[in-house]
Structures are given as structure tokens and as C-alpha cells.
């Protein structure tokens, strides 16, 4: 009996080793990547893991990216490390990496602030994102107007950019600071479509704006939008004017906006908008009937796709 027990105990370690599954080639390669891979290799791995939806391995790569380049490091390395973490969908970790470096004034600080904004924006840290943009403005909000920042990268490699001025206003709106957002939007200096849209939005955001100033701003926005041929925006601004309470818009301004909107509707093929306006005018009954006929459902009685009448069967 004792001999059997000794043999069993001697065999147990070998049996345990045989019972433990050996790591696959892919598992060994991934472990080597975590141990020896550089920023480029880890970043490429992130893309593949995101495509496959491998969350557990993605988190391991994110943790490795956070520790791969411990402080102190030169700015170029810090920025590359933060960029890799943003691409690996770890923006909060990217912010932690950026905190390890105190940039000097000038170009170095601007580069650092751009990464700070990207990480905060990706992580929905609106307060930090707004602070980074304000520092990039260097005390002059109009400096942000021509600064284009990436907001979306498409599958074909192209990137959608947006003005930093509009991005700062959006961050402030997210922070429920509409007045501050309106001030930012009104800081634009370049004429054209973008300015028209900013003014229209700023008037919507400012609650206690005198009616005369409101009318002046909206008229300027209309001029800018019309000059750019942006008739849909012109219609939006006119609808904004018409939606104002009587106390916020003079009768003359409302009448002028109504006339303009009615003239514009055929140009932009907006029969619904014109119908809403014409119904308020008793003298426009004939035009209302024409528009109602035009907008009738194609399958309603009288519509062009209505079911044909069947001849009676003998």
C-alpha cells in the first residue's frame, strides 16, 4: 500500500504538467508583443484588436502602452505615446501620459495642447478640452477660426476637420454655458457661410439679447448666407426670425421675414414651408389650394398614384 502511494505521488507533477494546456502560437506571439513590442507594433495591434472586437487583449495593450515609456521622456516620445493611446481608444490614459511632461512656451506648448485637446475631446472631458482650446487661442478667440482640428477619421483614410472656434463653442454648450458659447461664435471674423451659421446659432443661445441687436445680427447673417448662395441656411434664419415671440421681433421685421420666406420657398423647393406661411394670409387662398394639391399624398384621392377606379363587372 505504501509503495502504491509513493508511485502515485511521484507521478502527480508529471500528470499535472500534462494536464495544463500549452499556450497556442498566437498566445505566445501576443505575450511576446506585450513584452518586447514598441509603440508602432502595439499601435498596429490595437487596430487589429478593435476590428476583431477582442476586448480583453485590447485592454492588455492599453495597459502596456501606459507603462511602455515611463517618465522622464522627451516631448516627441510623450506625444507619440499619447497619440497611440488615443488611437487605442484609451483617451484618459493618454491624458495621464501628457501630465508627465511640462511643455515650454511656443511651438512645444502648442503641440502638447493639441494632443491634450484630442485626448480630452475623445474622452468627452469637455472642461479639459475647452481649457486646451482657450490656451491655444492665446487670449484672442479669433485665432481659433482658421485652426482646423480632426474630428473624424474615415475608413478610406480621409479626415474630417472642423474649426477650433466651433469646437470650443460646442464644448461650452456641453458644459451648459450657452452665453459663453455665443460669445465664442461671435468672435469669428471671416465673412461667408460659416459666419452666417455661427451668428444664427449665437442668437439662439443668448436669452437676454435686445430685439434691435437680435435683428441686426440676423440681418447680417442673412446677408452672409445669401452671398454664399446657402439658401437652406437663409431659410433656417428666416424661420428663426418668424419663430421669435412678438416681443422679440418688431412687426416690420416679421412682415419682412414672412415675405422673404415666401419668395424663397419655390427656389429651394420647400412647398411645406411656403404652405405654412400662406395659410396665415387670407388673400392667398388660391395659392394655398395649389400647394395642398402639390403636397397631397400620391396615394390619396386625386393623387397621381391613387388606385385606379375599377370598371363594374357585368
| Contact present, 261 and 277 (Cβ < 8 Å) | yes
Mean pLDDT on 255-275:
63
Q: Name the nearest CA neighbour of 169 among 208, 196, 129, 140.
A: 129
Question: Is the pLDDT assigned to residue 303 strictly greater than 90?
Answer: no
- Indicate the helix (H) or strand (E) that contains 150: strand 148-153
- The answer to whether residues 284 and 210 belong to one domain is yes
Is 222 part of any domain? yes
Residue 55 and residue 98 in one domain: yes
Q: What is the pTM of this model?
A: 0.76
Same domain, 175 and 211: no
175 and 197 belong to one structural domain: no
Q: Are residues 94 and 179 in the same domain?
A: no
Instruction: Provide the pLDDT for residue 308.
Output: 47
Average pLDDT over residues 199-224: 90
Neighbours of 221 (CB within 10 A): 25
For the cut 50, the answer to whether the pLDDT of residue 310 exceeds it is no
User: Residue 14 domain-assigned?
Assistant: no
Residue range 230-242: mean pLDDT, rounded:
85
Position 9 in a domain: no
**Closest to 62 in 3D by CA, of 75, 78, 50, 76:** 50
C-alpha dist (Å) from residue 98 to 72, 239, 311: 11, 46, 80
Say whether both 167 and 258 belong to one domain. Answer: no
**Which one, of 213, 212, 182, lies nearest residue 198 by Cα?**
182
Residue 136 forms part of a structural domain: yes
List the CATH number of the domain containing 204. 1.25.40
> Is residue 162 located within the same domain as residue 95?
no
Place of cell 522627451: 74
Q: What is the pLDDT of residue 250?
A: 66
Which residues are paired to 162 by β-bridges? 149
pLDDT, tens digit, for every residue of 32-59? Answer: 999 999 999 999 999 999 999 999 999 9
Say yes or no: 102 and 145 in one domain: no
DSSP state of 83: H
Highest mean pLDDT: which range of 25-34, 94-103, 240-249: 94-103
Domain boundary pick from 68, 98, 123: 123
151-198: per-residue pLDDT in tens? Answer: 998 888 899 999 999 999 999 999 999 999 999 999 999 989 999 999
Average pLDDT estimate for 210-228 = 90
Give the domain range for residue 41.
34-123
| Pair (285, 221) in one structural domain | yes
The last residue of one of the domains, among 188, 211, 233, is 188
Contacts of 115 (CB under 8 A, 6+ apart): 79, 82, 83, 86, 94, 98
- Asked if 200 contacts 233 with a C-beta cutoff of 8 angstroms, the reply is yes
pLDDT at 278: 53
Is 202 in the same domain as 256? Answer: yes
51 and 94 in one domain? yes
In a domain, 238, yes or no: yes
Residue 201 lies in a domain: yes
Residue 249 covered by a domain = yes
Whether residue 63 is predicted with pLDDT greater than 90 in this model: the reply is yes
Query: What is the pLDDT, as a whole number, of residue 275?
Result: 45
Give the pLDDT score at 232.
83
pLDDT (tens digit, 9 = 90+) per residue, 80-131?
999 999 999 999 999 999 999 999 999 999 999 999 999 999 999 999 999 9
Q: How confident is the model at residue 13 (pLDDT cuts 50, 70, 90)?
A: low
The residue among 221, 162, 219, 235 whose CA lies nearest residue 192 is: 221
* Per-residue pLDDT, 7: 42
Q: What is the mean pLDDT of the chain?
A: 83
Whether residue 170 sits in one domain with residue 96? no
Mean per-residue pLDDT, 66-75: 95
Asked, for residue 308, whether it belongs to a domain, the answer is no
> Average of pLDDT values for 218-222?
91
Into how many domains does the chain fold? Answer: 3
**Where a domain ends, among 141, 167, 188?**
188
Amino acid at each position: 500500500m505504501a509503495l502504491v502511494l509513493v508511485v502515485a505521488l511521484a507521478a502527480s507533477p508529471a500528470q499535472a504538467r500534462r494536464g495544463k494546456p500549452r499556450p497556442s502560437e498566437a498566445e505566445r506571439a501576443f505575450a511576446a508583443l506585450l513584452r518586447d513590442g514598441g509603440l508602432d507594433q502595439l499601435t498596429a495591434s490595437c487596430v487589429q484588436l478593435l476590428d476583431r472586437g477582442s476586448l480583453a487583449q485590447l485592454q492588455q495593450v492599453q495597459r502596456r502602452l501606459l507603462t511602455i515609456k515611463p517618465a522622464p521622456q522627451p516631448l516627441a516620445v510623450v506625444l507619440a505615446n499619447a497619440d497611440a493611446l488615443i488611437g487605442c481608444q484609451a483617451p484618459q490614459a493618454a491624458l495621464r501620459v501628457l501630465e508627465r511632461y511640462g511643455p515650454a512656451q511656443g511651438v512645444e506648448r502648442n503641440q502638447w495642447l493639441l494632443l491634450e485637446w484630442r485626448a480630452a475631446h475623445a474622452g468627452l472631458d469637455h472642461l479639459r478640452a475647452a481649457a486646451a482650446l482657450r490656451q491655444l487661442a492665446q487670449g484672442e478667440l479669433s485665432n481659433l477660426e482658421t485652426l482646423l482640428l480632426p474630428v473624424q477619421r474615415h475608413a478610406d483614410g480621409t479626415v474630417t476637420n472642423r474649426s477650433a472656434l466651433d469646437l470650443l463653442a460646442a464644448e461650452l454648450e456641453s458644459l451648459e454655458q450657452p452665453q459663453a458659447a455665443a460669445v465664442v461664435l461671435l468672435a469669428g471674423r471671416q465673412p461667408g457661410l460659416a459666419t452666417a451659421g455661427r451668428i444664427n446659432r449665437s442668437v439662439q443661445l443668448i436669452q437676454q439679447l435686445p430685439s434691435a441687436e437680435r435683428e441686426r445680427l440676423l440681418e447680417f447673417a442673412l446677408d452672409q448666407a445669401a452671398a454664399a448662395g446657402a439658401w437652406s441656411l437663409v431659410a433656417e434664419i428666416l424661420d428663426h426670425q418668424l419663430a421669435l415671440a412678438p416681443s422679440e421681433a418688431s412687426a416690420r421685421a416679421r412682415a419682412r421675414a414672412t415675405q422673404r420666406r415666401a419668395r424663397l420657398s419655390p427656389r429651394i423647393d420647400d412647398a411645406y414651408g411656403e404652405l405654412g406661411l400662406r395659410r396665415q394670409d387670407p388673400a392667398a387662398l388660391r395659392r394655398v389650394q395649389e400647394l395642398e394639391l402639390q403636397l397631397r399624398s400620391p396615394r390619396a384621392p386625386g393623387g397621381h398614384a391613387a388606385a385606379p377606379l375599377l370598371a363594374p363587372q357585368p
